[in-house]
Chain A
């Protein structure tokens, strides 16, 4: 065994030394050629494996890089999206406040701006809580408006807040008239969150879908001319004493964040101050 191993080593050493000597003396072309016949296919194979492996490895690394970059870009996109939302939110708030400020400045009556801090939106009660209360000298039944129109009135005043009964509250009622026909009536809230305009039928009122309904100022609770809603359907009951119209509020109560409380007194027509021009 040992002799065989030594013999193998000796043979290998002899072959190598002969190969080296031949190469140095310039006679190795033949040996190189013979070896090339054996090694070239192996080298080709190795090279192919190398290329494939390196290719797969590079692809994997690129994929990992792309994945990492993808994750980074996703994170950045998310951050930018949040930033954009924040900017949009601020812009929208800015616009809302500008409109409210413009309305406050134009209003002939003293007003107090307030922020909505809570909402009660069940079918039984529909109200907003505003951060103005007894300390701000807010009185019960104070009219509350927004840049688009009437929101409701204060029904409860607390030390630091007021509860505003929204127009669509089932217990809410406000004197109103249709701008185009001057048909007077009462706008009442309904449990399903809509408004109903109840008016005298004998007028031959001629109310149409799309007509604007504004506050009439009767009863002195709200100034005249504040937009309330638009007629969406008419319930014509023929010769009955009252006819009804479904009215869609001009204010989106779910999206109200800032309000104006009309704290000043006096009979004024404020129709020209609203975009709908509720005159």
Chain B
């Protein structure tokens, strides 16, 4: 199980590092680790979500050269929250997946901004939301829904063949 979580988180990180640039559209890149954390949390619960979020976030912090702990904390919170309430959501519906991931990305953005503001981060809120968080949220929404669909399809194929 631990191997799985490590592979999943590192896989997300790798996907972010490798596919992030390739998937960039109009200078907007998806937050693949966030999507992976959400998917893991939905399947494994709040503890896994929290741990995966922390590891993925700290890797991103370290990779970006920013303040260590910002994304680690926000992603850990997201992972924990989704793990805790995910069971009550109808996450198999794309109508839930897309807006869900959009809202989660916005929430993560807001949390990150708040945390950074506490530690005297100078960026203007409006610009950050308009040009960074919202486009990324939309992108995450659609990419995440596509990933969920792909995983569902892969699982159904596996069940049929086994």
Report, as a range, how many residues of chain A touch the other chain: 20 to 34
Determine which residue in B10, B45, B62 has the highest number of CB atoms from chain A within 10 A of its CB, and name it.
B62
Complex CA gap A16/B69 in Å reads 4
Residue pair B14, A46 in contact (C-beta under 8 Å): yes
B96 nearest CB across to chain A (Å): 23
Knowing A50-B17, A54-B18, A57-B22, the reply to whether A32 touches B68 (Cβ < 8 A) is yes
Residue pair B68, A54 in contact (C-beta under 8 Å): no
For residue B115, CB closer than 8 A to chain A, the reply is yes
Complex CA gap A9/B59 in Å reads 18
Complex CA gap A15/B46 in Å reads 18
For residue B29, CB closer than 8 A to chain A, the reply is no
Chain A residues closer than 8 Å to B17, beta-carbon distance: 46-47, 49-50
Chain A residues closer than 8 Å to B139, beta-carbon distance: none
B32 nearest CB across to chain A (Å): 12
> Taking CB as reference atom, which chain B residue is nearest A43?
B63
Chain A residues closer than 8 Å to B120, beta-carbon distance: 24
For residue A71, CB closer than 8 A to chain B, the reply is no
> Taking CB as reference atom, which chain A residue is nearest B46?
A5
Among A5, A28, A32, which residue has its beta carbon within 8 angstroms of that of B45? A5
Residue pair A16, B22 in contact (C-beta under 8 Å): no
For residue A53, CB closer than 8 A to chain B, the reply is yes
Chain B residues closer than 8 Å to A19, beta-carbon distance: 68-69, 72
> Taking CB as reference atom, which chain A residue is nearest B51?
A8
Among B13, B62, B68, B73, which residue has its beta carbon within 8 angstroms of that of A28? B68
Query: Residues 12-23 of chain B: 1 if any A CB is under 8 Å from the residue's CB, otherwise 0?
Result: 011001110110
For residue B70, CB closer than 8 A to chain A, the reply is yes
Knowing A50-B18, A54-B18, the reply to whether A9 touches B68 (Cβ < 8 A) is no
For residue A31, CB closer than 8 A to chain B, the reply is yes
Chain B residues closer than 8 Å to A35, beta-carbon distance: 58, 62, 68
Query: Residues 102-134 of chain B: 1 if any A CB is under 8 Å from the residue's CB, otherwise 0?
Result: 000000000000010001100000000000000
Residue pair A20, B76 in contact (C-beta under 8 Å): no
Complex CA gap A197/B117 in Å reads 112
Residue pair A5, B69 in contact (C-beta under 8 Å): no
Residue pair A20, B47 in contact (C-beta under 8 Å): no
Among B13, B69, B83, which residue has its beta carbon within 8 angstroms of that of A20? B69
Query: Residues 235-256 of chain A: 1 if any B CB is under 8 Å from the residue's CB, otherwise 0?
Result: 0000000000000000000000
Complex CA gap A54/B13 in Å reads 15
Residue pair A12, B73 in contact (C-beta under 8 Å): yes
Knowing A5-B80, A9-B77, A12-B72, the reply to whether A20 touches B119 (Cβ < 8 A) is yes
B63 nearest CB across to chain A (Å): 6
A28 nearest CB across to chain B (Å): 7
Chain A residues closer than 8 Å to B50, beta-carbon distance: 5, 8-9, 12
Among B18, B53, B69, B83, which residue has its beta carbon within 8 angstroms of that of A17? B69
Knowing A43-B63, A46-B13, the reply to whether A12 touches B18 (Cβ < 8 A) is no
A35 nearest CB across to chain B (Å): 6
Q: Which of B1-36 contact A (CB under 8 A)?
A: 10, 13-14, 17-19, 21-22
Among A32, A39, A53, which residue has its beta carbon within 8 angstroms of that of B59? A39
Among B19, B51, B72, which residue has its beta carbon within 8 angstroms of that of A16? B72
Residue pair A31, B68 in contact (C-beta under 8 Å): yes
For residue A13, CB closer than 8 A to chain B, the reply is yes
Query: Residues 36-62 of chain A: 1 if any B CB is under 8 Å from the residue's CB, otherwise 0?
Result: 100100110011011001100100000
Given contacts A9-B77, A43-B62, 10 further A-B contacts (CB under 8 A): A12-B72, A13-B76, A13-B77, A16-B72, A35-B62, A35-B68, A39-B58, A39-B62, A46-B63, A49-B17
Which 4 residue pairs are nearest across A and B when measured between Cβ atoms? A16-B69, A16-B73, A19-B69, A39-B62
21 A-B contacts (beta carbon < 8 Å): A5-B46, A9-B46, A9-B77, A12-B50, A12-B54, A12-B73, A16-B72, A19-B68, A19-B72, A20-B115, A23-B68, A24-B120, A35-B58, A35-B68, A43-B59, A43-B62, A49-B17, A50-B14, A53-B18, A54-B21, A57-B22
